[in-house]
């Protein structure tokens, strides 16, 4: 008779937690959440305090809580720096979340909103608004920019959807790149033939948070807010889509509907942000890719963490532009390009994972 075999040893609770990883993963997420919140608070304070006339934090707090219209420092904080800070917060989040959604839609970690020609479409319609309708103020051409972004995105998707396979990620990228090239050429031609359009567009096209009032924010906020809510709602669907279309369909997901919702989300976010502050580069490309290194590949985490991290980067670049060219300033679009390129190279370089 064979003696009974001893039962295998039960793993210790510590070993079980190490294998499953929920505690460590939660701690990692909470750690980076705290880091991003601190960065957001610091960058917002710097945006309100730093400029041609630096102000102490106490003066900034006094202007926000006990505004005195006869105090010139209060007028600078509330009238000039507060609108650009709020625009930096919402536009930065919109650009980054649009980039994250694009990366999930195309299953390409280095995709960005310009892949659908959104920036080129917005620029073209702004030029048309200036040259044809005589619009010269940001509050007026916001709607032209948003309409251009929406119409060009629909056009790109319609082109990519032709054929047997439908709007595959590769076809979306190719059609978006080709459309953006054509529209950029049209914008350049229109600017060369109109001095007024060139003078008005040269600051907006680079990307800037200056010379914007709260009216621009209120006009674009509903679209960007709706896009952020929609992006959070489709996070799980983007996770399924990342596994491949066949797997996603096997899980019961409607792939076509997910693509449409993702495209609408990109139009709302990138269209609204581009209309408000111009086509700022690298925010939608760099931030989601960097966030992926810290919180993992789930879009249910990438999307909200991108929305928290991008405003800090955008505001810090804006503050840097004010400091290096004082008493003038560099446009934030120039600074993000100068800072974003080396940062992106550093992020995409292969390296060993660092455990917290």
For residues 65 and 60, give the distance between their C-alpha atoms in angstroms, rounded to a whole number.
9
Burial class of 72 by CB neighbour count within 10 A (0 to 12, 13 to 18, 19+) = exposed
pLDDT, tens digit, for every residue of 29-87?
999 999 999 999 999 999 999 988 889 999 999 999 999 989 999 999 998 899 999 99
What pLDDT sits at residue 347?
Answer: 62
For residues 161 and 259, give the distance between their C-alpha atoms in angstroms, rounded to a whole number.
11
Domain total of the chain? 1
Task: Indicate whether 312 belongs to any domain.
Answer: yes
- Look at the block and give the residue holding tokens 């919180």: 295
Q: Would you call the peptide bond into 327 cis, given omega within 30 degrees of 0 as the criterion? A: yes
Task: Indicate whether 333 belongs to any domain.
Answer: yes
CATH number of the domain bearing residue 142 = 1.10.3470.10
Task: Indicate whether 42 belongs to any domain.
Answer: no
Task: Indicate whether 44 belongs to any domain.
Answer: no
**Chain mean pLDDT for the chain:** 82
Q: pTM value?
A: 0.84
Secondary structure element (H or E) that encloses residue 150, with its range: helix 138-161
What are the Cα distances from residue 262, in Å, to 20, 116, 234, 280, 288?
Answer: 32, 12, 8, 21, 16
Mean pLDDT to the nearest integer, 175-179: 87
pLDDT, tens digit, for every residue of 217-227?
888 899 899 99
What pLDDT sits at residue 133?
Answer: 83
Nearest one of 174, 173, 176 to 184, comparing CA atoms = 176
Domain that holds residue 265: 82-348
Name the H helices within 194-298.
195-206, 214-233, 235-242, 245-250, 255-277, 283-295
CA dihedral 254, 256, 260, 262 (to 10 degrees): 60
What pLDDT sits at residue 251?
Answer: 79
Helix, coil or strand: residue 146: helix
pLDDT, tens digit, for every residue of 91-119?
999 999 999 998 888 777 777 777 778 87
Task: Indicate whether 270 belongs to any domain.
Answer: yes
Task: Indicate whether 36 belongs to any domain.
Answer: no
Structure token pair of residue 177 = 């790149």
Task: Indicate whether 48 belongs to any domain.
Answer: no
Nearest one of 144, 99, 148 to 282, comparing CA atoms = 99
Which of the four pLDDT bands, split at 50, 70 and 90, describes residue 203? low
Task: Indicate whether 34 belongs to any domain.
Answer: no
């Amino acid at each position: 008779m064979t003696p009974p075999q001893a039962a295998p040893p039960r793993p210790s609770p510590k070993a079980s937690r190490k294998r499953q990883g929920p505690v460590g993963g939660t701690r990692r997420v909470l750690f980076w959440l705290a880091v991003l919140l601190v960065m957001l608070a610091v960058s917002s304070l710097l945006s309100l305090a730093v400029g041609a006339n630096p102000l102490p934090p106490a003066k900034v707090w006094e202007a926000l809580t006990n505004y005195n219209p006869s105090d010139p420092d209060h007028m600078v904080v509330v009238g000039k720096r507060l609108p650009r800070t709020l625009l930096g917060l919402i536009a930065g989040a919109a650009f980054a979340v649009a980039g994250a959604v694009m990366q999930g839609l195309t299953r390409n970690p280095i995709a960005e909103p310009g892949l659908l020609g959104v920036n080129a479409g917005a620029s073209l319609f702004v030029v048309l608004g200036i040259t044809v309708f005589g619009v010269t103020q940001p509050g007026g051409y916001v709607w032209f920019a948003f309409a251009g972004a929406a119409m060009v995105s629909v056009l790109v998707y319609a082109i990519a959807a032709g054929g047997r396979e439908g709007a595959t990620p590769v076809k979306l990228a190719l059609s978006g790149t080709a459309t953006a090239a054509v529209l950029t050429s049209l914008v350049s031609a229109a600017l060369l033939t109109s001095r007024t359009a060139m003078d008005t567009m040269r600051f907006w096209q680079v990307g800037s948070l200056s010379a914007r009032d709260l009216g621009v924010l209120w006009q674009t906020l509903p679209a960007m807010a709706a896009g952020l809510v929609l992006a959070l709602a489709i996070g799980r669907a983007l996770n399924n889509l990342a596994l491949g279309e066949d797997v996603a369909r096997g899980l019961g997901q409607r792939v076509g509907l997910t693509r449409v919702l993702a495209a609408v989300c990109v139009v709302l976010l990138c269209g609204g942000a581009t209309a408000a502050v111009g086509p700022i580069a690298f925010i939608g490309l760099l931030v989601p890719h960097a966030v992926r290194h810290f919180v993992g590949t789930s879009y249910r985490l990438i999307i909200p963490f991108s929305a928290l991290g991008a405003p800090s980067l955008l505001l810090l670049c804006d503050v840097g532009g004010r400091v290096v060219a004082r008493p003038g300033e560099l446009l934030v679009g120039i600074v993000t390009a100068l800072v974003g390129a080396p940062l992106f190279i550093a992020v995409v370089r292969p390296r060993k994972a660092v455990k917290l």
